[in-house]
Every structure is written in C-alpha cells, then in structure tokens.
A = this chain, B = another copy of it.
Amino acid sequence: MGFCKVKIVVDAFGGDNAPLEIVKGCALAAAEYDVEIILCGDEDTLKKVLSDEGISDPRIGIAHASQVISMEDDPHCILKEKADSSMAVGQRLLAKGAGDAFVTAGSTGAALIGATLLVKRIRGIKRAALATLLPAAGGPCLLIDCGANVECRPEFLHQFALMGSMYMRHIMGLADPRVGLVNNGAEKTKGMPLQVESYELMSKSGSYNFIGNVEGRDIPLGRCDVAVADGFSGNIVLKTFEGVGLFLMKEIKNLFIGSARGNIAALLLKKELSAMKKRLDYSEYGGAPLLGISKPVIKAHGSSNALAVKNAVRQAVRVVEARVIPTIETLLRDENISKE
C-alpha cells in the first residue's frame, strides 16, 4: 500500500448487490487503474468474500464497520444511530484524509447528509447537489440538481451551474460547456419566480457559458451540456427520462423476440444493438457526483453491478486527478473577489 497515486474509500455494504458486486468491481478497478482501495464494512464478511472470489490484491484494504444503513433507515441515522455503518466510517475516513474520494451505492439521502455534515461543503457553496450524466444526442448532458435540494434559491442554481460547468470541462473534456436552465419555455420571463430570478442571476455571471432556458426535450436532443434545475424539477426530468428509456427499450426488445423473423433481424443487427445499448447505458458513465462537497463523493446507482462499481471508481479517480474541486474553489474565490 501507499505507492499508488490515488486512494479511493468504498462503501462495501451500500446498494442492492452489496457486498459481492462492490468487492468484485473494486478488484476490477484495482487491476485496471493505478489506485488503492479501502473497503468499508464488516471485516470478517469482506475477508470471506475476497477469499471466496480469489482476490488477494495488496492494494485492496479493509476498514471495519459494524453497521449497515438500509434503504428503510432515516438518512439522518448516519450521524448517530448508525455512526459505525460502512457509509459513516467511509465518509469519516475521507474527511480525515485517509482517502482521496468516496464511492457508495447506498442510500442517497444518507450519502448527502454524511457528505454535508461529516466531509463538509466547499467553503462558500450554499448547497451540495446531485449531478447525473444523461445520454443525449452528441454526448451526455449533466443534470444538476437531480433531487438533493427540493426547495432552492437562485444563488443555489447559479452555484450548480458553476460546478456543473467545471465538471463537464475537466471530466468530460468540453472546452466551453453550454449551461441551460430547465424551464417551461425559452423566453426569459418563463417559469416560476425561482426560474425568472435564476435566469437573471445566471445571465449576469461570467463564470460559465449560460445559453438561457432549456425545456425538457432539449436535454436528450443535445442542446445543452449542463442542465441546471432545482432538485424537485431535476428529479422529475431524471425519473421521466429513466421511465421513457425503459419503456422504449422494452418496445425495441419486443421487436426482436417472439418470431423467427425477429430473431434473424436481431442476428443481423447484433453489432448495432450492442453498440446502442452501450451508448444508452447509465452504468457506462459511472455514478452521480455529489458536487459542492470539499472532497469527491460519488453516488453509484443502487442496483450497480461490478462493472458499474468499477466505472464509479474510475470516475472518482478522474475527479481527483483532474482537480475538479480545487478548480471550483478557485473560481468561487475569484467571484467573491470581483464582487468586493
């Protein structure tokens, strides 16, 4: 241990397929990237899983945690009743600098509360937000906030825009990400008071490339790279997106099954179908970054398999190496100086 560039703390007991798929995903990541991993969770169980799977990578360590936060638990339990859960132990390790980033497929609410109160926000950031990459024409679009903050103020949305823009620039390599405000029409007078005031604030900021209001359809059609929303609206976009995607993918699947002609067509299009599936698959993008926290926290999907966990670890490594958080900190400092 100690020779790799980056050390990632992983909640080994978060998500539907924990701990097996989490451990397997971490082993894949350790084999592929220059990374050390600390698995948080019950030590005996983790040792047994590692041994059963024949994993003996010296770059995978264990930090014991006696508890697990379930989806039924009140997220606030991370602070007291479940302070020795795999999620809490992991976030405290991150907070004290024992690792560079934290990955969990567990409860989003607990991850948010833990990140905000144990790891703490970036100085000057009012609210942490959950960001998700959605498949879109021409490349993924980052939706921020997807549900962390149901009620927002214009300044929160401005900060989401700034953080989302930095993420797309440094992680996805876009030179000048187009930032749109999710609204019910293009005109600047559209929306509720929150949207009207946020438009005003965002159009005055020089910290990102604000292109104005975007509608729900503009996101999949690739008309912006960052879609900024309050957590309520963002959650509606995210869930509708997921639902329509599932519905239509099933319709596509039904085209090819149940008939000999369908089976032949599926064989003919095997390569194209697999490429399409990969292009539209969330897990390819890794997890959802919690932006606004002073250290990288990545929320992987609850149903993550080993591949999705590996991708989430890769994403955490990128956020560390690309210095996304220090860049956001600098930008905030510059904004505050220019205001004075």
Give the interface of A toward B (CB within 8 A).
135-137, 147, 150-151, 182, 184-185, 191-192, 215-221, 231-233, 235-252, 254-256, 259, 261-262, 264-265, 268-269, 272-273, 276, 279-280
Contacts A147-B184, A261-B268 given; does A236 touch B233 at CB 8 Å: yes
Complex alpha-carbon distance, A231 and B190, angstroms: 12
In the bound complex, do residue B233 and residue A220 qualify as a contact, i.e. CB atoms below 8 Å apart? no
Q: Which residues of the other chain, B, contact A268 by a CB distance below 8 angstroms?
A: 261-262, 264-265, 268
**Distance to closest chain B CB from A191 (angstroms):** 7
Q: Which residues of the other chain, B, contact A259 by a CB distance below 8 angstroms?
A: 272
Complex alpha-carbon distance, A254 and B233, angstroms: 31
Question: 13 A-B residue contacts at CB 8 Å?
Answer: A147-B184, A215-B235, A216-B240, A216-B242, A216-B243, A217-B242, A219-B243, A220-B244, A221-B246, A232-B233, A248-B248, A254-B276, A255-B272
In the bound complex, do residue B239 and residue A241 qualify as a contact, i.e. CB atoms below 8 Å apart? no
Q: Which residues of the other chain, B, contact A247 by a CB distance below 8 angstroms?
A: 135-137, 220-221
**Distance to closest chain B CB from A216 (angstroms):** 3
In the bound complex, do residue B217 and residue A240 qualify as a contact, i.e. CB atoms below 8 Å apart? yes
In the bound complex, do residue A236 and residue B182 qualify as a contact, i.e. CB atoms below 8 Å apart? yes
Complex alpha-carbon distance, A250 and B216, angstroms: 17
Q: What residue in chain B is nearest A242 (Cβ atoms)?
A: B217
In the bound complex, do residue A245 and residue B246 qualify as a contact, i.e. CB atoms below 8 Å apart? no
Closest 4 CB pairs of A and B: A217-B243, A216-B240, A216-B239, A220-B247
In the bound complex, do residue B192 and residue A150 qualify as a contact, i.e. CB atoms below 8 Å apart? yes
Complex alpha-carbon distance, A265 and B192, angstroms: 48
